[in-house]
Amino acid sequence: MGIEAFRNQLEKIDRQILKFLNLRMKLAQEIGEKKKLYGYPVLDTQREDRYLKNLKAINPGPLQDKNLEGIFREIFSSSRCQQGGLRIGCPQNHFLSCFLASLIRFGSSSTFIPISLDEGSQLQEDKEPEVDTLVVSAPYLLKRIKVNRSTLLSLLPSFSLGGEIDLSQFISHQEIEKHFFFFQKKSIPKENAVYKMVFVVGGSVSYPSVEKWAENQGLKVIFFEDDPQNPQDNVYLLEKTTKEPKNEDIEHSWKKFTEGLGWVILIGSYPF
């Protein structure tokens, strides 16, 4: 068979794909109407992630899993668009890396809005463009915490941690910043869910001692910035996967461990 004959077959298949995509979009619209009615947010990352995992499990190939993921992330993005779309806020001072991270994670049918998270300019509804999701890189988060710990909480007034963008594959090949956290306006409480909790700890503590404490508490150090000149300014991001998000134990043990010289903030928890 010559190239043209193969191309004709491709076109026939594409017409089928298009037909089914439109059927899918109609269903997404219906779901969107229900969400509006019940006040649910458009984005449901747990559903998307779980669904992707299931699709990979039944993928017969030769389509590679990473290509399957790229295609379906775009399909999800288009469905969300049918439901009103997702507005993603990317901080102006590291817009490009946040834009790239969100583009891969949330697809191109999202709206990417540059926002200012500079010192003193809180995310105020009347001043800043309204966004549903805020994407922030771990290094930026740690830098802001270093400057002023309490501004972290005022920085994200109406958001809660929605999850962590897993870009390890991409990042291992590209030189963009390591981790991204996305904050969502509303999180959907899930019963019997396993939660991932993310903490920031800091103070006059060295990496080896944080690591020792983390191991003892079942926490994983996911990112840190140490400052050999000012070891009291070291900050670490840690995470723990748990059935129930209770942070009192962590706080208690950390304060005891550092004899009052360390501090801990729970950034948030999200069903995992």
Ligand X SMILES: C=C(O[C@@H]1C=C(C(=O)O)C=C[C@H]1O)C(=O)O
Residues 45, 41: Cα–Cα separation, whole Å: 10
Count of positions on this chain that bind ligand X (CB under 6 A): 12
The letter for the amino acid at 216 is N
Stretch that binds ligand X, among 74-82, 102-110, 152-160, 184-192 (CB under 6 A): 74-82
Binding pattern for the stretch 247-266 against ligand X, x by CB under 6 A and - elsewhere: --------------------
**Is beta strand 87-91 parallel, antiparallel or unpaired with respect to 262-271?**
unpaired
Answer whether 15's CB lies under 8 Å from 22's CB: no
**Is beta strand 195-203 parallel, antiparallel or unpaired with respect to 262-271?**
antiparallel
165 near ligand X (CB under 6 A): no
- Out of 14, 23, 66, 79, which residue is the one contacting ligand X (CB under 6 A)? 79
270 near ligand X (CB under 6 A): no
- Out of 48, 164, 177, 239, which residue is the one contacting ligand X (CB under 6 A)? 48
Stretch that binds ligand X, among 75-83, 130-138, 165-173, 197-205 (CB under 6 A): 75-83
CA separation (Å) from 265 to 5, 60, 134?
A: 62, 45, 19
Peptide bond into 91 cis (omega under 30): no
- Out of 44, 69, 211, 226, which residue is the one contacting ligand X (CB under 6 A)? 44
Neighbours of 144 (CB within 10 A): 19
- Pick left, alpha or beta for residue 132 (phi over 0 → left; psi -120 to 50 → alpha; otherwise beta): alpha
Stretch that binds ligand X, among 72-80, 106-114, 190-198, 231-239 (CB under 6 A): 72-80
Instruction: Name the residue with tokens 């009291």.
Output: 232
Neighbours of 98 (CB within 10 A): 28
74 near ligand X (CB under 6 A): no
- Out of 13, 43, 137, 171, which residue is the one contacting ligand X (CB under 6 A)? 43
- The nearer residue to ligand X, 105 or 144, going by C-beta atoms, is 105
28 near ligand X (CB under 6 A): yes
- Out of 14, 76, 93, 265, which residue is the one contacting ligand X (CB under 6 A)? 76
Assigned token pair, 148:
């002023």
136 near ligand X (CB under 6 A): no
Q: Which residues bind ligand X (CB under 6 A)?
A: 28, 31, 43-44, 47-48, 51, 75-76, 79-80, 83
